[in-house]
Structure 1
Amino acid sequence: MNKWLKPKPILAAAAAMIALTGCSSGGNSAKDERQTLRVMYYEEQSFYQQYGMLFSAIYPNVNIEVVSTQSIRPEEGEDYNKLMDDFIEKEQPDIVMLDSERYAKSAADGKLAALDSLIEKDKYDTEGLVPGMLDYLKEKGGGQIYGLSADFSSQALYYNKDLFDKYGIEYPKDKMSYSEMIQLAKRFPTDGEGKDRVYGLKFGYSDSLFDIGTQLGGALSMNYVNGTKQEMTINTTGWKSVFEMALDVINSKALYLQNQQSMDGEKTYEDYLMGDPFLSGKVAMMIDGPYFMTQLKQAQVYLKDEEKEKLISNWDMVTVPVDPANPEYSSMVNFYNIFGINSKAANTETAWTFLKYITGDEFARVSSKSYGYGNFPVRVKYFDNPDNRNFAAFYALKPNPFNMYKDYDKLPEKFNQEFYGAAQAELEKVKAGSATIDDALAQLQTVGQGMIDQGKAAQAEKKEEPATDSQAAESNATEGASQ
C-alpha cells in the first residue's frame, strides 16, 4: 500500500515574493558556499512547488537534487518496507521523507541523526510549533527528536450557531464523544424533504453503513483486519456497537446523506457552492478540514448579492469528537511527511538548515496563505483568523499513534477491493432490515478470513511454481557469466 500522499502546491506568487526579498537575509555557510543537498520527495515538480522554490530563493548556492520515490512500485507479494529500505540505502539522500511508522523504525535502527543538540545549539524556536508535535516525534523517536514536519493535516467540528439558537439547543463542545455528537444531531427537526429541511449532521460523503461505521471505528482506534497477523477482527462487540451507532444515526434521518442528494440541478459553480448544505445554512454540524473556509471565501466572491444573504455567517468550530478512553488524541490530526537527516548525510549542516527553514517562521508566514487548500503550517501564529474563531480546535488534540491501516500492504493484493464489496453488500442487508448486525459481522469475519487465506495460498503457490524455459535459460546464462 503506497503511504505517500501527493502534496499540495503553494502559491507561486508567494515564492516570487520570497525571491524578491530573500537576497537581503543574513549570510551563513549554506548561502555563501556552493553545496549540494539530496532531498527525498514524491517527485521533483511538486517538491519545488511546495518547498524548493522558496528555499532556493533564500539559499541560491544550495543545489537541490530531488530523489524521487516514484520508482517504488511493489508487485504483488513484495514487501513495500523492504523496497523503501533498499531505495534509501541505494540513493543515500541527505534528507529522508518518512511516514510516522518508518520514522520510528528508522530512529530505532540508527538511520537518522538526532536533532536535539542542533535544536539546542541554534536556539531553534520550539515554542511557536503546534502543540504536541515535538512530544509526538520524541515519543516515536524513543525519547529523542529525529525529524520535523513542515505542516500537518487536521479536521474540526464546524457548527451553525444560528440553527442551534433557533431550536434552543446548546452548542457542541470540545472533546465530545461520537455518541454525544450524534445525540446532539438527533435533536434537530427531521420534517421536510431534501433541500427544504435542516439536518443535524453532515458526516463524510457516503450513505453506506459500512463507510460510516468504519469511519467511526477508525476514530475509536479500531481495525477490522489485523494486517500484521493477517487475521480478521470485525466480529467483535466493539464493532457491533459501532455499527449500531452508525445505523442509529442513519435511521434517525438527522444525517445529511450525500448520495441521496440530487446534483442534477447544479449547472454552474455558483450552484455547486449553494449546493453545499453547511455553506447554505441547512446543516447544523459537519466534520471537515480547512477547505470549507476557502469555499466560503469563494462563495462571497462568486455569488450574487441575493445569494450571499443565504450564506452561513454565524459559525464556529470545536474539536472533532474523541474516544472517551483517549480524549487527548485524534486520528484526524496527522503529520504525514516527516523530514529527517540521514545518519550518513554528506552535509548535515546544510540538511539542518533546510529543516530549520521549512519549519520556521518565514516559510510558515508565506505558506499559511494557502492553508485552505490542504494542510496547516506548524507555526500556528500565522493562521489567518480575522474573525477570532476557535482555530485551536484544529490543533488542541494530539495525533493518535494508532494506524488503522498498519501492514495492509502485507494483505493479499485484491483483498481490500474484494472485502469492501462484500462488506457493502452484507451491511446493506442490515440497512434494509433483512439481516442483523450480528449476522453480517459473523459472515464478514468468515468471508474476509477466507479471502486472506486463499490469497496467502495463491502467493505461496506462485513462489513454488517451477521456472519457465525462458527463466531457466536466463538463470543458466547468469550462472555461466559468473563462472
Structure 2
Amino acid sequence: MKVLSKFVIPLVVFTLLVTGCSFGGKNEQKENEQSTLKIMYYDEGSFFQEYGMVFSALYPNIEIQVVENRKMYQGDNKDMDAALDKFITEEQPDILMLDTDQYKKLALDGKLYDLDPVMEKEKYNTEGLIPGMLDYLRENGGGQVFGMTPSFYSQVMFYNKDLFEKYQIEPPTNRMSWDQTIQLARRFPTDGDKKERVYGLKMGYSEDLFEMASILANSENVNYVNASQKQMTINTDSWKNAFKQAIDALDSNALYFDSMRNQGGDEPMAQSYEDYLLSDPFIAGRLAMTMGDINFINQIKQAAENEKVKDKIVKNWDIVTVPVGQQNPDQSSMMSFNNIFSIRSESPSKDAAWKFLSYVTSEDFARVKSKSNNYNGLPVRTKYITDTEGHNFAAFYDLKPSTFNSYKDFDKLPESFWGEFRGAASQELEKVKKKEQELDAALDILQVKGQEMLLKEDPVPTEGAEGAGTSESSGSVTTIETTE
C-alpha cells in the first residue's frame, strides 16, 4: 500500500495542478484575462456617466465598448422589431438594452441568456431587491429571468398634511382604491376662485372623460379592445363602472387637472420663475393630493429654497402608494422599468457580461446611485431608497409592478384605428358629460363604430402613388401616409 501511495499521491497532485480545479488556477487566470464587453446603449457618454466609469475602475481587465442604438430610431423605420434584429446581427453586442416588449420577444425567440442558473451558481443575493421585480422579469420572460434592471420608475401619491388637519379629514393610507381616494377628495370644499381655491385631487392632464375612465380601467387590468382578436370590449360592465366613476368624480368639482393652470391667467411666456413655481397647486399649498415621482420631490425642494416664494410653499407633506384597483390591490400600474439589460445568448463574453449585470443591481451600485439626483430612476435595492426627513419612501416600492399592458398587440390594428376611435369617443362622451346622451347609448355606439374601424384594412398604395411610401420588412408592407 505504501508503495502504491507513492505513485497515486503525486499523480493526484499533478492532475490538480494541470486542471486547476482545486486551487482555482483557471478561475484566477480568467479573472486576470483581458476581455472586451460590447454594450448596447443610447450613447457612450451617458453610459459611462451612469454606469461605466465605476465599473471600469472595479474591473480594469474588462474593456467596455458602447454600441449606440440611436441609429435604430433614425429615418423611416416603421418595423422596430426588424430594426432591432438588424442592429443585433450587425453589431453583435454582448449586452442588450431593452424595453419590456423587446425583452419578451427576444426571450421567446431564444436570443437571450437564461440567468436563473447563473444566479444560483453565483449565489446572487436577491434579498433587498424591490418586491416583484424578479417576478415581473420572469413572467415577461416566459418563466425564466433573461435580464436585470438597475433602476425603476414609480409614482406615489403626495398629500398635504396641513390641509387634512385644517379640514379635519383623515389622511390617505397605502393601497387605497380609486373610489376611496376620490371620495376622500370630495370631502374638501369646492367653493372659491379657481386660481385660489383648494382642490382635493389632481388627476391627469384634462377633464377628458375617456382619459379619466382609462386610468380607472387600467388599474383593473381591463382594455377597451382585444387587439389580437380585433374585438371591441368597451361595452362591458367593467368599462361602464369606470365611466360612471369618472363622471361622478368630474361632477364633484373636487378634481384639478393640469389643463387648468393657465385658464384665465397669464400666458406661460409672461410668467416669472416664481409664478411658474406657484402654478402647481400642490407646491402652492392648495391641493390635498397629487401623483408624482421622485423628481417631484426635487421640484418641491427647489421651490422651498426660493427666497421670494418659500413662505408660500407646502411644508408638511408625505407620500403613500398610488390608488390601486380592487382586483389588484398589491399592484401598481404606475411603476415601470426603463432599461432591462440582457445578455445575448450567443455572446462569447458571458462571464464579463454577468459581472456587469450583477454590479449594476448590487448594493454597491445602489449606494453610489442614491447620492445622485435620481433622474434616471430609483435603484432596485430598497436599502438605499430613504429620506433623511422621514417621508414614507417605502411607498415607491410597496406595490409590485403590474404586467398589464394596455397597448398590447396594438401594432396588429389598422394604423388609422387609434386616431379615429379617439375622435369618435370624444364626440360621443362629450354628449354624456353635457347630459345630452345616456352612457349606455354612447357605449353601444362606440362598440359598433369601433368594431367597424377594427375590421378596416390599411390601404396598400400602388407603386409611385403620390403622398405615400412603402417600407418592406420581414415580408410585410408598411404604409407611410402623409397629409398636406
TM range (shorter): 0.7 to 0.9
What is the CA distance between 1:451 and its match in structure 2? 2.9
Q: After TM superposition, list the pairs within 5 Å mapping 1:55-454 onto structure 2.
A: 55-72=55-72, 79-262=79-262, 263-264=265-266, 267-304=271-308, 307-454=309-456
SS at match of 1:200: strand
Q: 1:198 to 1:28 in 2, by over 3 A?
A: farther
**Partner Cα separation in structure 2 for residue 392 and residue 33 of structure 1:** 42
The residue type equivalent to 2:216 in the other structure is L
With 313-322 and 130-139 compared, the bigger mean Cα shift is at: 130-139
| 1:52-103 C-alpha deviation (Å, 9 max, x unpaired) | 3443344444333333333445999965434434543443321122333443
Q: Residues 301 and 30 (structure 1 numbering): CA distance in 2 closer, same or farther, change over 3 Å?
A: farther
Q: C-alpha distance in 1, partners of 2:453/2:331?
A: 33
SS in 2 for 1:163: helix
Rounded Cα–Cα distance in structure 2 between residues aligned with 1:273 and 1:466: 54
One-letter amino acid of the counterpart of residue 305, structure 2: V
> How far apart are the structure 1 equivalents of 2:363 and 2:326?
35
Q: Which amino acid aligns with 1:432?
A: K
Which AA in structure 2 matches 1:207? Answer: E
Higher alpha-carbon deviation: 124-133 or 165-174? 124-133
Structure 1 pair 382/30, CA: closer, same or farther in 2 (3 Å)? Answer: farther
Q: Is the 8 A contact 1:30 1:62 kept in 2?
A: no
Give 1:355's aligned amino acid: L
Q: Partners in 2 of 1:444 and 1:408 — Cα distance? A: 18
Confirm or deny: 8 A CA contact 2:216 2:325 kept in the other structure: no
CA distance in 2, matches of 1:371, 1:435: 49
- Deviation of the 1:376 alpha carbon: 0.9
**CA distance in structure 2 between the aligned counterparts of 1:438 and 1:159, rounded to whole angstroms:** 35
> Quick check: 79-88 or 175-184, which moved more?
79-88
Q: State the AA in 1 paired with 2:314.
A: I
Summarize the Cα distance change of 1:428–1:92 in structure 2 as closer, same or farther, 3 Å threshold. same
Distance of aligned partners of 1:98 and 1:447 in 2 relative to their CA distance in 1, 3 Å threshold: same
Q: Which moved more, 1:369-378 or 1:331-340?
A: 369-378
State the alpha-carbon separation in 2 of the partners of residues 357 and 181 from structure 1: 40
SS of the residue corresponding to residue 67 of structure 2 reads strand
Q: Which amino acid aligns with 1:324?
A: Q
Q: Match for 2:344: what amino acid?
A: N
Contact 1:80 1:409 in 2 (8 A): no
Alpha-carbon spacing, 1:75–1:296, altered in 2? closer, same or farther (3 Å): closer
| Structure 1 SS opposite 2:415 | coil
Render the CA deviation track for 1:31-56: whole Å, top value 9, x for unaligned. Answer: 85432212223344443343334433
Supply the AA of the counterpart residue of 2:124.
Answer: Y
Greater displacement, 397-406 / 410-419: 410-419
Separation of aligned partners in 1, 2:369 and 2:59? 17
Name the CA shift for 1:51/1:419 in 2 (closer, same or farther; >3 Å): farther
CA distance in 2, matches of 1:30, 1:435: 73
| Offset of residue 180 of structure 1 | 0.8
The percent of aligned pairs where both chains have the same amino acid is 50
2: CA distance between counterparts of 1:197 and 1:389?
26
Q: TM-score, normalised by structure 1?
A: 0.82
Aligned-pair CA distance for 1:413: 2.5
Instruction: Report the CA distance shift for 1:298/1:31 in structure 2 as closer, same or farther (over 3 A).
Output: farther
CA distance in 2, matches of 1:295, 1:77: 37
Aligned partners of 1:134, 1:391: CA distance in 2, in Å?
21
Distance in 1 of aligned mates of 2:432 and 2:241? 14
Which residue is 1:473 aligned to?
none
The answer (yes or no) to whether the contact 2:415–2:458 under 8 Å persists in 1 is: no
Corresponding residue for 2:23? none
CA pair 30-385 structure 1, distance change in 2 beyond 3 A:
farther
Deviation at 1:254, TM superposition (A): 0.3
Q: Give the residue type in structure 2 aligned to 1:449.
A: Q
Structure 1: how far apart are the matches of 2:405 and 2:384? 29
Q: CA deviation at 1:184?
A: 0.7
Query: Mean alpha-carbon deviation: is it higher for 362-371 or for 29-38?
Result: 29-38
Structure 1 CA distance for aligned equivalents of residues 365 and 51 of structure 2: 9
- Name 1:22's counterpart in structure 2: none
Structure 2 length-normalised TM:
0.82
**TM-aligned CA distance change 1:430 to 1:372, over 3 Å:** farther
Say what the alpha-carbon RMSD is for the aligned residues. 2.7
Deviation at 1:151, TM superposition (A): 0.5
User: Quick check: 2:261–2:279 contact (8 Å CA) kept in 1?
Assistant: no
Residue identity opposite 2:52 in structure 1: G
Deviation at 1:115, TM superposition (A): 1.9
Closer, same or farther in 2 for the Cα pair 1:31/1:256, shift >3 Å? Answer: farther
Contact 2:148 2:340 in 1 (8 A): yes
In the alignment, what sits opposite 1:478? none
| Shift, 1:285, TM fit | 0.8
Give SS of 2:368's match: helix
* Bigger helix fraction: 1
